[in-house]
Amino acid sequence: MVMIRMATIDDIDSLVKLRIKLLKEVNNNIKNYDWDQYSEVLKKFYYDRLPNGKIIAFLAVINGNVVAISMICLYNITPSLYNLDGKMALLTDMYTTLQYRNKGYGMSLLNDIMEHVKNRGYVKISLNATESGRKLYERYGFKDVNGKMSFKFK
């Protein structure tokens, strides 16, 4: 039986482990990356932001094992005409381990985390979808918005 719950400080190792699994799966062409260093950076990030609510994570747990995660980073920008409080949310991680996929855990996590963020007053959630995750987000109601520009310093 699956239990969906909000992550706590005690779950940081599981969050790190599943985020790294996600990144390795999505970026399978990366070779010789220092995953240990990245793991330490992630742990610090989660320890800094999970307790103060700047990140929210939900977990699917079966027999004590975390089998899926969802995570949203919360931040503020300058208020706009249609976002007077400037609240922004970025869905950063939705990942289910291979053997537990297509059982509805992803949608359950997405429903719970979206409802939680909505109840905190956030009205817009953005994400960068992988090709494999796109169908889940579209079923939920996310829309693909073209024309977004970005710049990266070299």
| Angstrom distance (rounded) from CA 102 to CA 146 | 28
How many angstroms separate the CA atoms of 8 and 73, rounded? 15
Query: What is the DSSP code (8-state) at residue 11?
Result: G
Question: Per-residue confidence of the chain (154 residues) as pLDDT tens digits?
Answer: 999 999 999 999 999 999 999 999 998 888 899 999 999 999 999 999 999 999 999 999 999 999 999 999 999 999 999 889 999 999 999 999 999 999 999 999 999 999 999 999 998 899 988 888 889 999 999 988 876 656 566 7
Q: How far apart are CA 88 and CA 127, in angstroms?
A: 11
Angle, helices 35-49/12-26, rounded to nearest 10 degrees: 130
Domains and CATH numbers, the chain: 2-140 (3.40.630.30)
First to last CA, the chain: 48
What's residue 95's pLDDT?
96
> What is the C-alpha separation between 2 and 29, in angstroms, rounded?
33
